[in-house]
Amino acid sequence: MKRARLPLGLGAGLIYLFLYTPIAAVAVYSFNAAKHGGPWTGFTTAWYLRLLESPDKLSALRNTLVLAVSSTAIATVLGTLLGYGLTRYAFPGRRLFAWLMYVPVVIPDVVMAISLLMFFSLVRDGLGLFPLGMGTMIVAHVTFQIPFVAIVVRSRLAGFDPAIEEAAHDLGATPWQKLRHVTLPLALPGVLAGAALAFTLSVDDFVVSFFTSGPGATTLPILIYASVKRGITPDINALSTLIVLVSILGTIAMSVFQARGRDAQG
């Protein structure tokens, strides 16, 4: 048994090394004193301070946060309602709805981006609505965030006994009181985990944002893509490192909420 663990552990270590070495290289070279990248010339944190003095990067950061917070708030509400409805209510076509919920999760991002771009174009030509900009980006992000939130919330709601809600109803609780004092507290770890996942996906997204953005709606991933075409500089490495850090923190938060939910259930 111990002999089998050694090659498995070695293989896992090599896989993690292959996955995370490029990310580590970006983080390390974000502290390189060389102005145009290349060989290591010394340690500095000036590139992180330079980000605070760059209007275009600060504007992209503001757009990214507005987009992520707005879309996450909307997707969390709608995804929670969808997850609750699919778990607690039996209606014709529920299995079909549950299956369709996974479609935005599994289809390639570029397919969804092109589909959304065509949809906005048709609506704009027919009704004059949805000019490309922050509004279309928020709608696009909500579209792919809702399934992720619904899946997490649905798995959380499926983990506790519906008899608890029925007991609250038998004790005289109104539907609103049952939702507020029983269902939401029990489902809160799943809701928060879904929100953290949705926020992380929004901050990281490039393809959907690129196809649905407009003038004045540049986000950090789009800015990085445009900057890399002119050459990779240490400030881009610093910006990329910060985005990775936000993604890691979002993933950790999601894991903590899910672990707390399991502990509360146990």
Residue 73 burial (10 A CB sphere; 0-12, 13-18, 19+): middle
**DSSP label of 93:** T
Q: What is the pLDDT of residues 184-222, one digit of tens each?
A: 888 888 888 889 889 889 988 899 999 998 888 888 888
The amino acid present at 245, given as its one-letter code, is L
Of 90 and 213, the structure prediction assigns the larger pLDDT to: 213
- The whole-number pLDDT of residue 242 equals 83
Structural domains for the chain: 50-265 (1.10.3720.10)
220-228 vs 55-88: helix axis angle to the nearest 10?
Answer: 130
- The whole-number pLDDT of residue 188 equals 84
Contact (Cβ atoms closer than 8 angstroms) between residue 134 and residue 66: yes
- The whole-number pLDDT of residue 266 equals 56
Give the residue from 223, 206, 189 showing the smallest Cα distance to 59: 223
